[in-house]
Amino acid sequence: MPGAVRTLCLAALLGALGAVGTELTLELPDSAQRCFHQELESGIKFTLDYQVISGGHYDVDCYVEDPNGKTIYQETKKQYDSFSHHTEAKGVYTFCFSNEFSTFSHKIVYFDFQVGDEPPILPDMNNRVTALTQMESACVTIHEMLNAVIDSQTHYRLREAQDRSRAEELNGRVSYWSVGETLILFMVSIGQVMLLKSFFTEKRPSSSGAGT
């Protein structure tokens, strides 16, 4: 019996860990907009999480529209945000990321679009009258810890990508500044040599002056 419960627990964990939604990292050029569409039933919860990984001031415009064209979410120049909503109408929902306010900065945006609530880890868990057994409680605890690990991995992966982008940008600025300083020093050195040379150059009298 314990082996059967253990097997059931493992199957429930693997099923609950399945991705219910979409994760995507996209490049958003300057003065551009990218939109995504998802058909949903009424009475369903969806959640949109997004974060700008690199580019400019790490900000982007975002809005969400329902099937009737009504804007149910709109934010401007946000670095990151999370939006949850229960659908009231069946149809195609649209969410867009806009970089139209920027004329030279490309952005890289990560978003996670989740549809529906997470299914219970154990069968009939929400309708149970009796308390959970020790094995079932352990399964629930492990499941919660694994969800926390997944969230932490996503967070640290995004932070690493953002920090790497900033480091590469800083390295490029330092390189350009070093090249500029080298050119300026080279030009100043040549100018100093030319100036010192002019001080020690002997000026010969003209031939017409010598004849008179």
Average pLDDT over residues 199-212: 60
* CATH code given to domain 20-117: 2.60.120.380
Q: Give 172's pLDDT tier (boundaries 50, 70, 90).
A: confident
Q: Which residue has the higher pLDDT, 122 or 21?
A: 21
- The model's pLDDT over 29-59, given as tens digits with 9 standing for 90+, comes to 988 999 999 999 999 999 999 999 888 888 9
Task: Identify the sign of the CA torsion 186, 187, 188, 190.
Answer: positive
Q: Which of 11-25, 96-110, 150-164 reaches the highest mean pLDDT?
A: 96-110
| CB burial string 123-138: b at 16+ within 10 A, e below | eeeeeeeeeeeeebee
Q: For the chain, which residues make up each domain, given as ranges?
A: 20-117, 120-196
pTM: 0.64
**Reduced to 3 states, what is the DSSP secondary structure of residue 169?**
helix
Question: Tell me, what's the pLDDT at 117?
Answer: 72
Question: Tell me, what's the pLDDT at 113?
Answer: 92
Question: Tell me, what's the pLDDT at 204?
Answer: 62
